[in-house]
Structure 1
Amino acid sequence: MTTQQSADLPSQKSDATRALVTLERRDGIALVTLNRPDKFNALNYAMFRQLCAVQRTIAADRSLRVVILQGAGGNFSAGLDIASVTAKPSQVLGLLAKWLPGNANLAQRVSIGWTRLPLPVIAVIEGYCYGGGMQIALGADVRIASANAKLSVMEAKWGLVPDMAGLASLRAIMPKDKALELTMTARVLDGAEALNLGLVTRLADAPFEEACLLANELKNRSPDALAAIKHSTHKSWSASLRALLARESWYQIRLLFGSNFRIAASRERGKTDKAYRPRQRFW
């Protein structure tokens, strides 16, 4: 499912003979690449399964500090490969089936799974970012796009509803009327308009290099603090004030008694350059 090799595999290889989602570790940074460039990284069933496997691998590796998520070949993802996925009814069932209505199915985990990781996730958006690709990018904590990127919540174009959990992030970054307009019209936005609407975090001439700079900046912070900030923000954003206050206090207590708090304080005072310890498990 995952590989430590470069994501730039020859495009002429068939889906059966290459990793469609690759994972490369770079000094604490997990570089995840959608690797189907000859199809503009359109999502087939195998890619859904491999994305979830990569998320599990990252979650289990406490040495990883930041995730950078990108697409190979100059495009993030053109969305669902409808012809491929619907060719077998068992694949449609595999994407949508769930034990309980409130649980995430396979299609939803490839987006919401990034929000549940206890480390920052940065999406690099270039070229096409349509439909299912947009849903995956919405699961990231930060989205850095090129000005000429093309973004769309495109499911309505095919007579479908967005059903990959991207709405969980969309409702937190955009007013409801604007989100409805985008999802109902399936309109394609360039990077500048996406930035203006809050769909992306920032624009960059070289989005991947910008993501690497941000990732290295985040590596200078305590991994426990980053995990607490991310988890608390996602859990508390729409929660009651009482729940927010309780969660903040609980996480702060856990941080104060952790070794990474002491390391962070010493680093900021210039008394040590000691590396942080692996992230605590309780997130």
Structure 2
Amino acid sequence: MGERCVQVTVENGIANVVLNRPEKFNAINYLMFSELDKAIKRIKSDPRIRLVILSGAGGHFSSGLDVKSVMSAPMQAVKLLFKGLPGNANLAQRVSIGWQRLPVPVIAVLEGCCYGGGMQIALGADFRIACPNSKLSIMEAKWGLVPDMAGLVALRQIMPKDQAMLLSLTAKVLSGEEAKALGLVTQLSDNPMLSAQQLAEELLNTSPDAAAAIKLSINRSWTASVRSLLCRESWSQVRLLLGKNRTIAAVRQLKDPTKPYKDRQSGW
């Protein structure tokens, strides 16, 4: 059996997820879709994992869909797009929106090219740290397609509608600097992996339960009604007040900043 298309290692509460087809600039074939989906499910089920760093091997994040590979096996295309109900996420969509649905922060490290499906996956992350000279594009229109991997869920929250439409219609390739100016990436760095690791250390100072509640609240309440927002805030706060990590957070602030947190509560 060949090397896996997605490598996952966990150390000190951080899951490092690496797209691993460097000889193909990490183009996304069916196996990579499947392995990413499994990685997301594994991370969600493990309360010891507190953060994800998502990157690509070989100096590129992803060149997008491996069209030749997917189209050479028609049943793979069917499996990618199939869904039981129209409002459910299919496999192609889960590898983007799945990161948003995790109860832990997700940081994407963007180097080299980040095109099409690769951009859709990166949009699922909570934070995107890119090299200034990286190349990013919502490229589906170039192939006569609509972006259909759920990246729009995040895109509509991070940039104005006219800019999102312009990038999607033109398939323009942006530099990291241009993408940062438009809000497509969170931060620029000459060493994005190092910057991601530094951000991870900062984020790990927060209670894993509080991090899960904050991510849930922001993602679900961003475009929700005020009543839903108020309900979700109150419900989350009660859960936090009853949990052990809220007490530990107070101890870390007032007495011992090295006191370790407990594993994340289930149910977030």
Same fold at TM > 0.5: yes
Counterparts in 2 of 1:74-113, with a 5 A limit? 74-113=59-98
Tell me by how many angstroms 1:272 deviates: 5.7
Alignment of 1:1-283 (within 5 A): 17-271=2-256, 273-283=258-268
Q: Deviations over 1:168-200 (max 9, x none)?
A: 000000111100000000000001110000000
Equivalent position amino acid for 1:28 in 2: G
Per the alignment, in what secondary structure is the counterpart of residue 194 of structure 2? helix
Distance 1:75 1:282 in 2: 35
**Identity of counterpart residues, as a percentage?**
61
Shift of 1:273: 2.7
Q: In the TM superposition, what is the alpha-carbon distance from 1:270 to its structure 2 partner?
A: 2.3
Amino acid of the structure 1 residue aligned with 2:53: I
Q: Distance in 1 between matches of 2:181 and 2:25?
A: 26
Aligned to 1:13: none
- Please tell me the residue identity of whatever aligns with 1:197: L
Give the whole-Å Cα distance in 1 for the aligned partners of 2:88 and 2:189: 36
Q: CA RMSD in A?
A: 0.7
Secondary structure in 2 aligned to 1:274?
Answer: coil
Q: Per-residue displacement from partner, 1:242-262 (whole Å, max 9, x unpaired)?
A: 100111111011101110000
For the residues of structure 1 that align with 2:257 and 2:202, how far apart are their CA atoms? Answer: 18
- d(CA) in 2 for partners of 1:55 and 1:22? 12
Q: Which moved more, 1:273-282 or 1:48-57?
A: 273-282
CA distance in 2, matches of 1:272, 1:98: 47
Which whole-Å CA distance do the structure 2 matches of 1:214 and 1:61 have between them?
Answer: 21
Q: Distance in 2 between matches of 1:62 and 1:181?
A: 40
* Distance in 2 (alpha carbons) for counterparts of 1:154 and 1:273: 46
**How many residue pairs align between the two structures?**
268
Q: 2 CA distance for matches of 1:202 and 1:274? A: 30
Instruction: List runs of 5+ in structure 1 lacking aligned partners.
Output: 1-15
Q: In terms of mean alpha carbon deviation, does 149-158 or 270-279 score higher? A: 270-279
The one-letter amino acid paired with 1:215 is A
- The residue type equivalent to 2:176 in the other structure is G
2:214 partner amino acid: I
Task: Write the letter of the residue equivalent to 2:244.
Answer: S
Could you tell me how far 1:219 is from its partner in structure 2? 1.0
- Rounded Cα–Cα distance in structure 1 between residues aligned with 2:28 and 2:133: 22
Alignment-mate amino acid for residue 276 of structure 1:
Y
Runs of 4+ in 1 over 6 A off after TM superposition: none
Instruction: Give the letter aligned to residue 37 of structure 1.
Output: P
**CA-CA distance at 1:282 after TM superposition:** 1.9
What is the rounded CA distance, in whole Å, between the counterparts of 1:257 and 1:272 in structure 2?
Answer: 21
Provide the C-alpha distance between the structure 1 equivalents of 2:211 and 2:256, rounded to a whole number of angstroms: 22
d(CA) in 2 for partners of 1:69, 1:258: 29
What is the CA-CA distance between 1:144 and the residue it aligns to?
0.3
Deviation track 1:46-79 (CA, whole Å, cap 9, x = no partner) reads 0000000000111111001110000000000000
Q: Counterpart of 1:151 in 2: which secondary structure?
A: strand
Mapped to 2, the partners of 1:56 and 1:65 lie a distance apart of 14
Moved more, 268-277 or 83-92: 268-277
